[in-house]
Structure 1
Amino acid sequence: MADWAARRATATDVPAIAELRAVVLRADLERLGRYDEQRVRQRLRAGFVPEHTSVIEVGGEFAGCVSLRSAEDAHWLEHFYLAPRFQGRGIGAAVLRGLLERCDRAGVLVRLNVLHGSAARRLYERHGFTVETEDPVDVFMVREPALDSTSPEIDA
């Protein structure tokens, strides 16, 4: 696994994150007949909250991002994107593990949605997420907090 670091996102990160979202989601959105060149970027811009988001860097280079947003009954894992050249190196699993362990220590349920057919679903299932509901585009997943957690945390 490559060495990585996470830092708090700022408003200046929005263009890079919006572009990464377009790249990462394109194949799945096209397969689902939902890809729109502008909308894919605009949806990120409309919902971006820097305080909930961490930028993932590898060797000081922008590699991805992840958001963890508090809601009434759970935390929502959102905007978890890793540039294709950094995928398959264990970085995504390490980032996810750190966030989930933080939620476990707080005893918080975690929710997310993933596009039907996305390879990311396997990552989430390996980390204890199960399907709660689904619609024609999204699969909504949930993970109960684990009882024991000891890894370092990252901010998001």
Structure 2
Amino acid sequence: MHHWHLRPATAHDVEPIAELRAVVLRPDLERLGRYDPHRVRQRLRDGFDPSHTQVIEYDDEFAGCVALRPTPDAHWLEHFYLAPHLQGSGIGTAVLRELLARCDHDAVPLVRLNVLHGSPARHLYERHAFTLDSEDPVDVFMSRVPARPRGGLPT
């Protein structure tokens, strides 16, 4: 398997993450007619919270990030970006499995996210039991209820 791990983000990670966001989202945002090179980076900077963000490292190099932001009724999976050359390698799936296992263990009532219309990432989320809540011309909103323990009802 790949040599990846998660580490807590720091304030110093904001610029590499903003740049990765611009690269990863560009094709979908261009297709939707919404790509603005400044805005795509600035939106990340404006909402960046290192306390809820983890950096994905592959062979000790920056490879991506993911945030899991708690709210009173759910956790929001946000800013899940993986370097293009690593997409399709299984790292994203492994990271998502680990985060969802933590949520299930901690009895998080719901995990929510939004993904851009037409993004291939939607298929990853659907494979991990996320279902459609609503959509608009740009975003698809999805959620996932906790997995039930094997062999019975939740405790």
Normalising by structure 2, we get a TM-score of: 0.94
Equivalent position of 1:73 in the other structure: 73
- For residues 79 and 8 of structure 1, the distance between their equivalents in structure 2, rounded to whole angstroms, comes to 14
Aligned partner of residue 93 in structure 1, secondary structure = helix
Equivalent position of 2:93 in the other structure: 93
User: Size of the alignment, in residue pairs?
Assistant: 149
Question: Which segments of structure 1 move beyond 6 Å, counting only runs of 4 or more?
Answer: none
Unaligned stretches of 5+ in structure 1? 150-156
Say what the alpha-carbon RMSD is for the aligned residues.
0.9
Equivalent position of 2:11 in the other structure: 11
1:128 matched to 2:150? The reply is no
- For residues 105 and 38 of structure 1, the distance between their equivalents in structure 2, rounded to whole angstroms, comes to 39
CA drift of 1:110 comes to: 0.1
Higher relative contact order (CA 8 A, sep 6+): 1
CA drift of 1:106 comes to: 1.8
Normalising by structure 1, we get a TM-score of: 0.94
Is residue 66–residue 79 contact of structure 1 (8 Å, CA) maintained in 2? yes
Identity of aligned residues (%): 72
- For residues 25 and 88 of structure 2, the distance between their equivalents in structure 1, rounded to whole angstroms, comes to 16
Report matched runs for 1:29-108 at 5 Å.
Answer: 29-108=29-108
- For residues 107 and 128 of structure 1, the distance between their equivalents in structure 2, rounded to whole angstroms, comes to 16
Unaligned stretches of 5+ in structure 2? 151-155
Of structures 1 and 2, the larger Rg is shown by 2
Which amino acid in the other structure matches residue 28 of structure 2? D
